[in-house]
Amino acid sequence: MLARDIEMFIEHCGLKGLSTKTINSYEQTLRLFMQYMDEQGILLTEKITHLAIQGYIKSIKERGKYTVTTNPNSGNYPDRRVDFGKRVSDVTINNYLRNLRVFFNWCVEEELILRSPVKKGDFVKVERKPLEFVSDEDFKRLLKNMNSASFSEYRDSIIIQLLLDTGMRVNECLLIEVTDLDMVKRCISLPADNTKGKKARYVFFSDKMATQLQRWIKYKDRYRDSDFLFCTNKGKRIQVSNFEANVRKYAQRIGLNDIHPHVFRNNFAKRFLMSGGDIYTLSRLLGHSSVTVTEQAYLDITQNDLAEMYRKHSPLSKIL
């Protein structure tokens, strides 16, 4: 039964130690998929064919955003959204397919089916949109227009600087406890439970960042009692969605669009390479599983960037 197999797969993901965010993504995709299969009268996993997958993708394209839910009584009122019924993006469709492929590959490993009904050709070719690059001047303006007399804005300004200086993910940053910091070695320990790939690693920060962190900790400890390096006004953990909203608000003050916390991670990667850093070291610092992931996700290098990097490393210029 498809329903039973999905439950077993979700349990497997939990035992494997995958993040709650990843498991939620799998479960949401699979429950919507199971709902469609029920409507088609297909209840057994082994009865799902490639044609059924293609039919599901076609239905997603035709129905539009938020028109189907697994819980109509959730109280979320999706029909009130301004983008209700609008076209589902190719990126979202690929994410659905990626989640389905993981599930069916697991089914093959467990010998529930012989082969996955999801094929490589099902994925839509999407041209990646480069993330916004924040210039030195814009970064300075961003910080300058934040109110350092406000606990939350002072805190957020330190977080933004730390994201750019270390390249860590925002969720990793918001889970840091004060005891994770090593001011002598200028590094932060990220426990496996707090990282996307469930592998512990270290990130490093500059002397300038160390000074900022020391000042912040003294300030925080005067007004808040919390183990977290960055906390809410009540000493609790900051939610990623709330911090994302804050960053958008700060960026809009100075007329910057498409700015969100992940932009600072991307900026770190680009600046690291432009300064002569190698991609292998960058991959390790970012916590990627392979250099290929780094190449595919973060190398927004323009022709002007290449020219600048070349001028720094021209063999003839160094010889003569």
Give CA–CA dist 187/204, Å, rounded. 4
Domains and CATH numbers, the chain: 2-122 (1.10.150.130), 136-313 (1.10.443.10)
Per DSSP (E only), the strands in 161-214 are 181-182, 187-190, 201-204
Q: How many helices (H) and strands (E) does the chain have?
A: 14, 3
Alpha carbon 270 to its chain centroid, in Å, reads: 17
Per DSSP (E only), the strands in 134-214 are 181-182, 187-190, 201-204
Instruction: Say which residue, 284 or 302, is predicted with more confidence.
Output: 284
Q: For the chain, give the number of residues.
A: 320
Task: State the DSSP code for 80.
Answer: G
Mean pLDDT of all residues in 119-139? 82
Q: Tell me, what's the pLDDT at 297? A: 66
6, two tokens = 């999905």
Give the global pTM: 0.72
Task: State the DSSP code for 290.
Answer: S
Q: Tell me, what's the pLDDT at 129? A: 65
3-state secondary structure of 128: coil
Instruction: Quickly state the pLDDT bin for 67 (edges 50, 70, 90).
Output: low
**Angle at 192 (CA atoms; ends 186, 198), nearest 5 degrees:** 130
| Residue 141, strand partner residues | none
Q: Tell me, what's the pLDDT at 308? A: 73
Over 70: is that where the pLDDT of 73 sits? Answer: no
Give CA–CA dist 278/253, Å, rounded. 35
Instruction: Quickly state the pLDDT bin for 74 (edges 50, 70, 90).
Output: very low
Give CA–CA dist 173/191, Å, rounded. 11
- Alpha-carbon distances, residue 146 vs 105, 143, 237 (angstroms): 48, 5, 21
Q: Quick one: what percent of the chain has pLDDT higher than 70?
A: 87
Instruction: Quickly state the pLDDT bin for 38 (edges 50, 70, 90).
Output: very high
Instruction: Say which residue, 294 or 164, is predicted with more confidence.
Output: 164
Give CA–CA dist 300/102, Å, rounded. 28
Over 80: is that where the pLDDT of 268 sits? Answer: yes
Mean pLDDT of all residues in 217-226? 95
